[in-house]
Amino acid sequence: MATASTSLLPLTGTPLDAALIGAYWQLDQSRTITWALGDNETYIWSDPSLSAAVISAALGEYEKFLDVHFQYIGQTRWNTSPADITFNIGDSSLLGASTTEARAIFPNLSLADTTIAAFGLSRSQYQHAEGDIWFNNDFSAQAFQYHDKGSQVFYMAMHEIGHALGLKHPHDDGGTGHPTYAQVGAVDSPFLTVMSYGTPPGSTMAAGWPATPGVNEVSALQYLYGANRWTAAGNTSYQLTATSPFQTIYDAGGTDKLDVSTFSTAFVLDLRPGFLSGQASSARPCFGISYGTVIEDAIAGSGADTINGNDGPNRIQGGGGNDSIYGGPGIDTAIYRGLRSQYVLQQSSTSLSVSDVSSGRDGTDTLTGVERLQFADCILAFDTAGDAGQGFRLYQAAFNRTPDKSGLSFWVHALDTGTSLHDVAVGFVNSAEFKAVYGAGASNAQIVDKLYHNVLGRAGEQGGTDYWIGKLQAGTSVADVLANFSESPENVAKVAPLIGTGISLEPGFFA
């Protein structure tokens, strides 16, 4: 059951205020909002099955990202409907003008009273107006010829549902003193919010309109009603083509992939939440990623693409063309289809160039903030200050030898997935090989002496030797002392020439 608000929410002082009107539904534990098709003296729904299917699909786009369930209860009379939201048909005499496609009533008693009065009605005539939506028959008669996702009427339905849930237009204050988008520095675009009056370039009544609510709807309405934690909670692959209508991707979890490999022209692919992606030459984006959604992996097409990673670990396959890939924070991997020997690498202080010597395959890419390269036969890790470098140095320090690729790959993967350097050091210290190198019953002095010689390649100075022996005697573990030697500035500088051109790892550990 849902109850319309009797008061308006206070301003948050955040950009959310530009999206919200202040009205909202109060929901019980069922999180259910009921809806119906309303008939009146002049207009009835001539094809209720089709109309209900279109409206249900539009409501479903909201249900994907909200902790709300929309329940259809059938056809009813418009002014005595028991539903929370009733979808009605009126005309220009009621809605004000033939250019008014539809009108929604906010879920608030006082705001609804204002709309009832504008309709020339009283509360006794219209008992439950809050949340109701009216389509203009002067417009709907032609619009409902085209009702698929991506059509203008589907967009219009989502727009009015947004009002019925508590959203306002981005260009006005809603009559409640809320800021406009411009006042909070936000962009008023139909690709960011279905509440926009903007028209997508190249759109027709039948196609070219967003097929989902925008990234701003997700944030604003989740503030009111909470997030759906079940939508696409597993591993999900999103394959988008040139004919796909614009959509905002909401994904609750898993390891997910965006695939735009069918595009042959330059594409701007952005995995960052709140950003839009599309063909570089087009004013029409193809999709956006909602705030709070994390997409881990991406496959681009054969054009000269620009790809931006997000804050997490991303696996990015640029495909053909000369791509620019920006990894961002996190351990990011660029994936190539050939063997390591089939690529030429050039490093600069800020980027890495990867050139495929095989014509027509992967092109020449420029990578910034990308820590790893995956080839068909190996992974090259360039995060020498991160997990790969720490794993290499600790391995060499513990066993006084160059790490074997399989063992190093295992432990670097462990670090990647949350194992601490301390815990890896504990595993090394407890191993038979460590005991063989440092002595099974070695004294504190013997351990420190071995660390100086094995790790730093020299005898310890008196002050340093005394310090570390004292730490061991005071209870510091051998594992912690080992990790300190391994990550000391002296050892980092000593090992740097060995790993500066990349650390070779086995791909099987990182798939």
Confidence at residue 255, expressed as pLDDT on a 0 to 100 scale: 97
Name every residue whose Cβ is closer than 8 Å to that of residue 296 and which is 6 or more positions away in sequence: 255, 256, 257, 312, 313, 314, 315
Q: How far apart are CA 409 and CA 429, in angstroms?
A: 18
Average pLDDT for 170-178: 95
Q: What is the pLDDT of residue 204?
A: 87
Answer yes or no: is pLDDT of 97 > 70: no
Model pLDDT, residue 398: 97
pLDDT tens readout for residues 344-390: 999 999 999 999 999 989 999 999 999 999 999 999 999 999 999 99
The answer for residues whose C-beta is within 8 angstroms of residue 146's C-beta and 6 or more apart is 152, 153, 205, 206, 207
Residue spans in the chain of domains classed CATH 3.40.390.10: 2-215
Contacts 24+ apart (CB under 8 A), 90-96: 90/40, 90/42, 90/43, 90/134, 90/135, 90/136, 90/137, 91/42, 91/43, 91/136, 91/137, 91/138, 92/136, 92/138, 94/119, 94/134, 95/134, 95/136
In the chain, list all ranges with CATH 2.150.10.10: 232-377
Where does the pLDDT of residue 143 fall: very low under 50, low under 70, confident under 90, or very high at 90 and above? Answer: low
- Residues 375, 343 contacting (CB under 8 angstroms): yes
Q: What are phi and psi of 291, to 5 degrees?
A: -60, 135
Helix or strand (DSSP H, E) at 86: strand 85-90
Determine the topology of domain 2-215 in CATH. Answer: Collagenase (Catalytic Domain) (3.40.390)
**pLDDT over 90 percentage in the chain:** 91
Q: What pLDDT band is residue 283 in, cutting at 50, 70 and 90? A: confident
Q: What pLDDT shows up at residue 140?
A: 55
The class that CATH gives domain 387-509 is: mainly alpha
pLDDT at position 367 is 99
Q: What is the pLDDT of residue 68?
A: 98
Q: How does pLDDT run across 321-333, given as a tens digit for each residue?
A: 999 999 999 999 9
Instruction: Report the chain's mean pLDDT, rounded to a whole number.
Output: 95
Within the chain, all domains assigned CATH 1.10.3130 are found at 387-509
pLDDT at 131: 98
Distance CA 63, CA 119 (A): 30
For position 92, what pLDDT does the model report?
Answer: 81
Per-residue pLDDT of 193-243, as tens digits, reads 999 999 999 988 889 999 999 999 999 999 999 999 999 999 999 999 999
pLDDT in tens, 443-478: 999 999 999 999 999 999 999 999 999 999 999 999
Buried b (16+ CB within 10 A) or exposed e, 265-278: ebbbbbbbbbbbbb
Q: What is the mean pLDDT of residues 423-448?
A: 96
pLDDT range class, residue 95, cuts 50, 70, 90: confident
46-74 as b/e, with b when 16 or more CB fall inside 10 Å?
eeeeebbebbebbbebbbbbbbbebeeee
Amino acid, single-letter form, for residue 386? G
Average pLDDT over residues 79-92: 94
DSSP, residue by residue, 351-413: -EEEEESSTTSS-EEEEES--EEE-SS-EEE--TTSHHHHHHHHHHHHHSSPPPHHHHHHHHH
- Phi, psi dihedral angles at 178 (to 5 degrees): -80, 150
Q: What is the pLDDT of residue 142?
A: 55
**Which residue pairs, CB below 8 angstroms and at least 24 apart, start in 446-450?**
447/472, 447/478, 447/481, 448/472, 448/481
The region of weakest confidence among 94-98, 250-254, 446-450 is 94-98
Average pLDDT over residues 28-53: 95
Residue 94 pLDDT: 80
Which percentage of the chain shows pLDDT scores above 70?
98
pTM, two decimals, is 0.92
214 Cβ neighbours under 8 A, 6+ residues apart: 189, 190, 191, 192, 193, 194, 248, 288
pLDDT of the residue at 310? 98
CATH annotation of 232-377: 2.150.10.10
pLDDT band at 139 (very low <50, low <70, confident <90, very high): low
Return the residue matching tokens 């919200």: 20
What pLDDT, on the 0 to 100 scale, is given for residue 176? 95
- Residue 506 in this model has a pLDDT that exceeds 90: yes
